[in-house]
Chains A and B, each alone.
Chain A
Amino acid sequence: MSKKNQTKCLECQGEIIVSDDVMVGEVVTCPECSSDFEVLKVKPLKLGPAPEVQEDWGQ
């Protein structure tokens, strides 16, 4: 896994590694603190806070 797939968790500074086929909009989870983040940019990899769950979210 190359460095382009790694970034630091915005909450705990833990290592987050994403797959090669990661997509903008994808939600990734920090393996250390379980915080969720949204992929904002792929090249270079940039994460932002995941959207908060809304009352009308569902399947």
Chain B
Amino acid sequence: MNIGILCSKIRIEEKILFKEFEKMGVKVVQLDPRKLVLTNNKHFAKTDLVLNREIGQTRAELILEYFENLGIKTINSARSTILTNNKTLTTQVLELNNIAVPKTILAFSEEKALEAAEKIGYPVVIKPVWGSWGRLISKADTKESLEAILEHKAALGSPQHSIFYLQQYIEKPGRDIRVFVVGGKAVAGMYRVSEHWLTNTAKGAVPQNMELTKEVSDLVEKIVKVLKIEIAGVDLVEYQGGFLVFEVNPTPEFHGLKQVSAVNIGKHIVEYVAKGGQIGKN
């Protein structure tokens, strides 16, 4: 099988993956978007599968679609990548499948966002529809602060920042949960501990080992099934005796998990990918 890894930046995770493929004796090539010129020629005729590890979400989505049109299997699929990169569509699909998420609204004007916030109740969290690592996420405790945040977002000028994705503020127990999924199965989990209301490791949260319970594994496996995603990082929060889902990441990092878990995530991914994935053609 001829495998390509789509990535421009080689971080710890990508290096681990290249090493694990090498250990398995599976030859892979790096497909760096900065060096690709895509045309409908036969340059990729021998490529069977592309594993996406590209950090730039916009170009990754486009390139995955392009490869799929050429009949190349991609992990994750373009559809599941586009769906999970978009936080509001992810929330919608989960909610439609009776999976608990924080109360969420999507509005396209400041006026309607303010009206909707009254229904959610303050504080509310304002998130970018696309984004990662906790960037540009704000909490508004009052209507006045929400007005200011919305005005600033609109002033940024891009159409994306004039889409208002508002969510109920969830009081966390000082941590949230990241579960890593490979081939539709939960393989490892960690707590991300922080006194800050944002618990991304990119924002300084500290990883802590977590033993996966059946309840968490079952929930996460249901989530990835409805999103039709093969490899993912699922973010949950403990809430009122159950769990709420915050988001699902299609190209998850695992350097934090590596620090606290004995599970070899890289090996899991490589073994799964080398078999061509198990969920079938896109």
Binding site for B on A (CB under 8 A): 21, 23-27, 38, 50-51, 54-59
Contact = CB atoms under 8 A, between A and B. Distances in A.
Contacts, number: 49
A59 B56 contact: no
13 contacts: A25-B7, A25-B9, A25-B30, A56-B56, A56-B130, A57-B55, A57-B132, A58-B55, A58-B85, A59-B132, A59-B133, A59-B251, A59-B252
Contact of A27 (B9, B233, B250): B9
Contacts of A25: 7-10, 30, 32
A24, A51, A54, A57: which has the most chain B beta carbons within 10 Å? A57
Interface in B24-83: 30, 32, 55-58
B212 to A, nearest CB: 20
A41 B266 CA distance: 25
B142 to A, nearest CB: 28
Given A59-B249, A59-B251, A21 B19 contact: yes
A54 B59 CA distance: 12
B23 interface: no
Interface residues of B, number: 25
B232 to A, nearest CB: 10
Interface of B: 7-11, 15, 18-19, 30, 32, 55-58, 85, 130-133, 233, 249-253
A23 B22 CA distance: 13
A50 B55 CA distance: 13
Nearest to A57: B55
Contacts of B32: 25
Contact of B15 (A26, A56, A58, A59): A26
Contacts of B55: 57-59
B19 A56 contact: no
Contacts of B18: 23
B10 A27 contact: yes
B17 to A, nearest CB: 11
B34 to A, nearest CB: 8
B80 to A, nearest CB: 14
A24, A25, A57, A58: which has the most chain B beta carbons within 10 Å? A58
B10 A58 contact: no
Given A56-B56, A57-B57, 5 more contacts: A25-B30, A51-B9, A57-B55, A58-B55, A59-B250
Contacts of B85: 58
B11 A54 contact: no
Contact of B132 (A21, A27, A51, A58): A58
Of all A-B residue pairs in the complex, the 8 with the closest CB atoms, nearest first, are A58-B132, A25-B10, A26-B10, A56-B57, A59-B249, A56-B58, A59-B253, A57-B55
A25 B87 CA distance: 29
Contacts of A57: 55-57, 132
A38 B9 CA distance: 8
Given A57-B132, A58-B133, A51 B8 contact: yes
B56 A54 contact: yes
A38 B56 CA distance: 16
Nearest to B61: A56
